[in-house]
Structure 1
Amino acid sequence: MANAVLLNNIDHKDLRVITRHGRDMDESYAYVQTFPAEFRMLQAHYPIIFRRESEARPFEPVALFGFESDENLFLDEQGWDASTVPLLVERLPFLIGRDGDELMIHIDLDSPRIGTQEGEPIFLPHGGMSPYLESVNTMLLTIHEGMQSNAGFIEALMKHELLEGFSLDVTLDDGSQNRLAGFYTVNEERLAVLDAAALDSLHKAGWLSAIYFQIASLSNFRALIDRKNARRAAGR
């Protein structure tokens, strides 16, 4: 559980943030949330699929890092082994909060990224935002707008009945079995038979390209399996 508090330049004036990636940075999780505007960059590295915690909650797109709980196959001794890191990871230890209608930056004081000796300063000596914090502020705004867009995207997918459950059975080189289940993807057959009006509405809303990026991202399952095999072979 994050110990999130409102960021301020009095209580947190000396704090610094470690920006490197690694297992000691609490990044060992199998997936992270994402949003349509991020698909273009992420589809080069990660499978993008959909999950749903319960019938009462909407679907959400996620970038997949591994096949097991707490497994991130993109973390190695050198850090994060991909040129693009999802924004929901990159923004840590910062979070978006609200004060009424105003968006505010919060910080997780229990994050291993937080310190006073190593890392990027959050504030300037006289209390102003550091260039690093300014970049974080821009990132958090992008995330907020992107996550807000998920509702419309999911609504469009469900309207056209484009989401379907899938499972993936993987046999690794050492003979062990892995099964990925409980996730969803776009049904390509249904997409292929949508009429011109439906495709036009998806295009005008900005969802059609995101759909194709999501479908294209599924080719990364092969690379993810290769990472899993390499990790097993190395005994890590």
Structure 2
Amino acid sequence: MITPDLHKKPVGLDREKHKNLKLRRELSNLRAAAGLNALFLTGAEFGDACKEYPILFLNAGQDDQGKTQVAPVAVFGVTQGENLFLQPDGRWDAYYVPAMLRAYPFTMARLDADRYVVVFDESYDGLSETEGQPFFDEKGEPTEMLKELRQFIENIEVEIERTRRAGQRLMELKLLQPKRFDATLPDGTPFAVDGFLALDEERLAQLSDAEMLELTRSGLLALLHAHQISLSNMRRLLDRRLALQAAAGQTLN
């Protein structure tokens, strides 16, 4: 899945055109997340991510059948363009790093219903034709590094599709509703974040026994619980911002 804010210049990997391309793995690829205040998260990551980030759902339009789509995201900042986890030296100040960021500069794009292509961000400064580990060997075959990277992003793509279906089912059950996060700053100023979807607990309590059994057996109830746990990180995220601004002698905009 190509994320425009992350993959700024996506290009399909071609064994002829890119036969000399190399990856400088000693460089931090996490710097690409500068300016990202949220990133797509697969359902398989909820268990780890809920300990670090708020996990919110964003409206992602409709599919070809007109069904509402949602995209879960790990939130890195409370305002647009703000990332409170990326450090100046390129380190990530959290134990868990979302899979799509770990895979950067690589991802996959769908060619048609059954075919995908490996894509990389051509703007990434860790790519070179003179330094680093090669993508292809002298015979033009993928190196072990490229094989491992491809397997990783293929696994992510599988989880993206599972997550898409999970979100669709949650919307069909009307379990995700527009929500708002409100807080009061130390100086008494009110602060709010909105524009996202989150679990409607009243609606969850209204589900039939059959629907609850479906959620339990499908793993969706576990996802919702992780999502609920993650919401406490909204306050921690704001505290993180306030601490950084206090250290810099700034005020919240």
Q: TM-score, normalised by structure 2?
A: 0.81
Q: Which residue of 1 aligns with 2:101?
A: 89
d(CA) in 2 for partners of 1:11, 1:199: 52
d(CA) in 2 for partners of 1:158, 1:26: 29
Which whole-Å deviations, capped at 9, do the CAs of 1:89-125 have from their partners, x for residues lacking one?
A: 1111112124442222111212234334665543445
d(CA) in 2 for partners of 1:21, 1:178: 32
Q: Report the residue type matching 2:93 in the other structure.
A: D
Displacement of 1:69 in angstroms is: 0.8
Q: Which residue of 2 aligns with 1:138?
A: 151
Q: Which runs of 5+ in 2 are unaligned?
A: none
Displacement of 1:209 in angstroms is: 1.0
| More displaced 10-residue stretch of structure 1: 67-76 or 161-170 | 161-170
Change in Cα spacing, 1:125 to 1:40, as seen in structure 2 (3 Å) is farther
Displacement of 1:14 in angstroms is: 3.2
Change in Cα spacing, 1:120 to 1:207, as seen in structure 2 (3 Å) is farther
2:53 partner SS = coil
Q: 5, 17, 20: which one pairs with 1:11? A: 17
Q: 47, 57, 60: which one pairs with 1:40? A: 47
Change in Cα spacing, 1:98 to 1:159, as seen in structure 2 (3 Å) is closer
Q: 63, 79, 83: which one pairs with 1:68? A: 79
d(CA) in 2 for partners of 1:216, 1:161: 20
Displacement of 1:140 in angstroms is: 0.9
Contact 1:21 1:27 in 2 (8 A): no
Change in Cα spacing, 1:22 to 1:151, as seen in structure 2 (3 Å) is closer
1:45 partner SS = coil
Q: Which residue of 1 aligns with 2:170?
A: 157
Displacement of 1:126 in angstroms is: 5.2
Displacement of 1:174 in angstroms is: 5.9
Displacement of 1:85 in angstroms is: 0.8
Q: Report the residue type matching 2:46 in the other structure.
A: F
How is 1:1-236 mapped onto 2 (pairs within 5 angstroms)?
2-12=8-18, 13-18=20-25, 19-23=27-31, 25-53=32-60, 58-78=69-89, 79-100=91-112, 101-116=114-129, 120-124=133-137, 127-173=140-186, 178-235=191-248
d(CA) in 2 for partners of 1:27, 1:217: 22
Q: Report the residue type matching 2:178 in the other structure.
A: G
1:104 partner SS = strand
Displacement of 1:226 in angstroms is: 1.9
Q: Report the residue type matching 2:54 in the other structure.
A: P
Change in Cα spacing, 1:113 to 1:52, as seen in structure 2 (3 Å) is farther
Change in Cα spacing, 1:15 to 1:21, as seen in structure 2 (3 Å) is closer
Q: Report the residue type matching 2:12 in the other structure.
A: L
Contact 1:16 1:117 in 2 (8 A): no
Q: What is the percent sequence identity of the aligned residues?
A: 30
Contact 1:36 1:149 in 2 (8 A): yes
d(CA) in 2 for partners of 1:213, 1:207: 10
d(CA) in 1 for partners of 2:13, 2:158: 20
d(CA) in 2 for partners of 1:188, 1:147: 25
